[in-house]
Amino acid sequence: MVGKTYSTEDREGLELWERLMEFNVTRNLPPGVSEPQVRYGEPTLIKPRLGQGAFRVTVTDAYHRTCAVSGGKVLPALDAAHIRPYALGGTHELTNGILLRRDIHSVFDAGYVTIDDQYRFLVSERVKTDFDNGNEYRRLHGTLLSMPVVPLDRPDREALRWHNENVFRGR
């Protein structure tokens, strides 16, 4: 792609060049240099979710640093996902968490995938109908989750039912 060019030998190009020079002189800038752009907004205060860091460490360790669905082990690509979101009354307890690859976490939170109370990964048909795609998730449909060894650390079935009833976009 090539941008439009102007010659200072044409009236329009000369006027543009003179306006640029005038702009820079009034701001004490050298020719051809524009003012620096603002890169950040004003600072704001946030309320950190207390316990989020410990939740991530606990879930990551319980799942042996492996995505419960795909088996992926690239740690920067893994998220400790809340089954019932913290913002909707979920807790930072291990039983409300599953270690998921980031893209799977995103579609889980958006309701295009879920986990049933038998710990099977389910994919909504809406992945196909809404996006005319989703093969990378649909091939995982029915996959049994890899879970923590200790039964009391496994995902809470009530939380999974809540996700199925309140977030999942159906089959």
User: What's residue 28's pLDDT?
Assistant: 66
pLDDT per residue as tens digits for the range 30-59: 666 665 667 778 888 777 777 888 999 999
Q: Which domain holds residue 136?
A: 52-166
59 domain residue, yes or no: yes
**DSSP run (H or E) holding 98:** strand 97-101
Structural domain contains residue 21:
no
Residue 33 pLDDT: 63
Residues 102-129 have pLDDT tens digits of 999 999 999 999 999 999 999 999 999 9
Give how far the C-alpha of residue 98 lies from the chain's centroid of Cα atoms, to the nearest Å: 15
Q: Please indicate, yes or no, if residue 145 is contained in any of the structural domains.
A: yes
Residue 24 maps to a domain:
no
Looking at the 3D structure of the chain, how many domains does it have? 1
Q: What is the model's pTM? A: 0.74
Compute φ and ψ for 77, nearest 5 degrees: -95, 5
Question: For residues 56 and 52, what is the distance between their CA atoms, to the nearest angstrom?
Answer: 6
Lowest mean pLDDT among 27-31, 54-58, 82-86: 27-31
Q: Note whether residue 20 is domain-resident.
A: no
